[in-house]
Amino acid sequence: MPPSRARQFWRHLVVRDADLRHAERTASILRAGGADEELVLAGLLHDRAKPAEARLWHRVAATLLEGTAERWAPGCRARLARGEGTFARYLDHARRGAELSRAEGRSARVVRLIARHHLVPQDDDERRLAAADALALP
């Protein structure tokens, strides 16, 4: 394997490993806080639809689009989330993850929590997931 390909492969593994650790940490925080198994499952599955080929710039750009950027260009994030490119799939990972969970027969509660995990929390479950998600960040 050429050195540049090996570096790319290693970065991919590190990023995917970081995503897996984040999901496990989110679930662990919820479990330690007394959450029931459905909420813990939502914590474990909430980011699984992030594309494997996502890079740091995708993550940074997505973070910048949340909040203040939406005030300057309403609907920008939704427009960019259309399609099958890596950035679109990254931006749309909550909806896509919810659809995967629905197709697997997960409960409506788990599906809703996954779908809404980047939105302003509207109930105690969503607040708990958002807090655990934030605490689990590296």
The number of helix segments (H) and strand segments (E) in the chain equals: 9, 0
* Cα of 78 vs its chain's centroid, Å: 16
End-to-end CA distance of the chain: 30
Which structural domain range is residue 90 located in?
Answer: 3-135
Looking at per-residue pLDDT, the higher value among 137 and 33 belongs to 33
For tokens 């998600």, name the residue: 133
Given a cut of 70, is residue 6 above it in pLDDT?
no
Determine the angle formed by the axes of helices 108-115 and 93-103, rounding to 10 degrees. 170
Beta-carbon neighbour count of residue 85 at 10 Å?
13
Q: How many domains does the chain have?
A: 1
Looking at per-residue pLDDT, the higher value among 105 and 15 belongs to 105
Q: Counting beta carbons within 10 angstroms of the beta carbon of residue 133, is it exposed (0 to 12), middle (13 to 18) or buried (19 or more)?
A: buried
pTM over 0.85: no
pLDDT digits (tens, 9 = 90+) for 12-68: 444 568 888 999 999 999 999 999 999 999 999 999 999 988 888 888 888 888 766
Rounded Cα–Cα distance for residues 104 and 49 (Å): 14
